[in-house]
Amino acid sequence: MSASDDDVRKEALLTLTTELIKQGHPAEYAKYMAMAAIFQADLDLRNAQLSGLLQSLQSQDNAIYSQAIKVVEDIRQAFEHRTQQKS
Protein backbone atom coordinates (compact mmCIF):
# COMPACT_ATOMS: atom_id res chain seq x y z
CA MET A 1 0.00 0.00 0.00
CA SER A 2 1.42 3.38 -0.97
CA ALA A 3 1.54 6.44 1.26
CA SER A 4 -1.23 8.07 -0.79
CA ASP A 5 -3.44 4.98 -0.26
CA ASP A 6 -2.84 5.30 3.46
CA ASP A 7 -3.76 8.99 3.31
CA VAL A 8 -6.99 8.15 1.47
CA ARG A 9 -7.88 5.56 4.09
CA LYS A 10 -7.20 7.99 6.93
CA GLU A 11 -9.28 10.68 5.24
CA ALA A 12 -12.14 8.24 4.64
CA LEU A 13 -12.07 7.18 8.29
CA LEU A 14 -12.04 10.78 9.50
CA THR A 15 -14.84 11.82 7.13
CA LEU A 16 -17.07 8.89 7.99
CA THR A 17 -16.40 9.30 11.73
CA THR A 18 -17.32 12.97 11.51
CA GLU A 19 -20.52 12.15 9.62
CA LEU A 20 -21.54 9.55 12.18
CA ILE A 21 -20.99 12.05 15.00
CA LYS A 22 -23.12 14.60 13.10
CA GLN A 23 -25.85 11.96 12.90
CA GLY A 24 -25.88 11.77 16.67
CA HIS A 25 -23.74 8.73 17.37
CA PRO A 26 -21.52 9.04 20.45
CA ALA A 27 -18.01 10.15 19.54
CA GLU A 28 -16.44 7.27 21.49
CA TYR A 29 -18.23 4.77 19.22
CA ALA A 30 -18.25 6.65 15.92
CA LYS A 31 -14.65 5.78 15.00
CA TYR A 32 -15.28 2.07 15.57
CA MET A 33 -18.53 2.24 13.61
CA ALA A 34 -16.67 3.92 10.74
CA MET A 35 -13.91 1.32 10.86
CA ALA A 36 -16.50 -1.48 10.72
CA ALA A 37 -18.30 0.16 7.78
CA ILE A 38 -15.05 0.62 5.85
CA PHE A 39 -13.98 -2.94 6.63
CA GLN A 40 -17.33 -4.28 5.41
CA ALA A 41 -17.08 -2.21 2.22
CA ASP A 42 -13.59 -3.62 1.64
CA LEU A 43 -14.91 -7.17 2.11
CA ASP A 44 -17.74 -6.46 -0.32
CA LEU A 45 -15.25 -5.13 -2.87
CA ARG A 46 -13.01 -8.20 -2.53
CA ASN A 47 -16.02 -10.48 -2.91
CA ALA A 48 -17.11 -8.62 -6.05
CA GLN A 49 -13.60 -8.83 -7.48
CA LEU A 50 -13.38 -12.57 -6.86
CA SER A 51 -16.87 -13.17 -8.27
CA GLY A 52 -16.06 -11.14 -11.37
CA LEU A 53 -12.80 -12.99 -11.88
CA LEU A 54 -14.48 -16.38 -11.52
CA GLN A 55 -17.28 -15.40 -13.92
CA SER A 56 -14.71 -14.26 -16.45
CA LEU A 57 -12.75 -17.51 -16.11
CA GLN A 58 -15.93 -19.56 -16.44
CA SER A 59 -16.85 -17.89 -19.71
CA GLN A 60 -13.30 -17.98 -21.14
CA ASP A 61 -11.72 -21.24 -19.97
CA ASN A 62 -13.67 -23.89 -18.12
CA ALA A 63 -10.54 -25.89 -17.17
CA ILE A 64 -8.91 -22.91 -15.47
CA TYR A 65 -12.26 -22.01 -13.90
CA SER A 66 -12.47 -25.49 -12.35
CA GLN A 67 -8.95 -25.14 -10.98
CA ALA A 68 -9.76 -21.69 -9.59
CA ILE A 69 -12.87 -22.99 -7.85
CA LYS A 70 -10.76 -25.73 -6.26
CA VAL A 71 -8.19 -23.18 -5.04
CA VAL A 72 -10.95 -21.00 -3.57
CA GLU A 73 -12.48 -24.02 -1.80
CA ASP A 74 -9.08 -25.18 -0.49
CA ILE A 75 -8.44 -21.70 0.94
CA ARG A 76 -11.88 -21.66 2.59
CA GLN A 77 -11.29 -25.05 4.19
CA ALA A 78 -7.81 -24.08 5.41
CA PHE A 79 -9.20 -20.86 6.88
CA GLU A 80 -11.99 -22.71 8.67
CA HIS A 81 -9.47 -25.22 10.01
CA ARG A 82 -7.21 -22.43 11.35
CA THR A 83 -10.20 -20.67 12.88
CA GLN A 84 -11.39 -23.83 14.64
CA GLN A 85 -7.90 -24.49 16.02
CA LYS A 86 -7.81 -21.05 17.62
CA SER A 87 -11.16 -21.59 19.36
pLDDT of residue 1: 58
CA distance 76 to 53: 17
Task: Find all residues with CB under 8 Å of 4, minimum gap 6, and list them.
Answer: none
Nearest to 36 by CA among 13, 18, 19: 13
Q: Which of 40-44, 59-63, 77-81, 82-86 has the lowest mean pLDDT?
A: 82-86
pLDDT of residue 4: 84
User: For the chain, how many structural domains are there in total?
Assistant: 1
pLDDT of residue 5: 81
Q: What is the mean pLDDT of the chain?
A: 94
What residues make up the domain containing 7?
Answer: 3-86
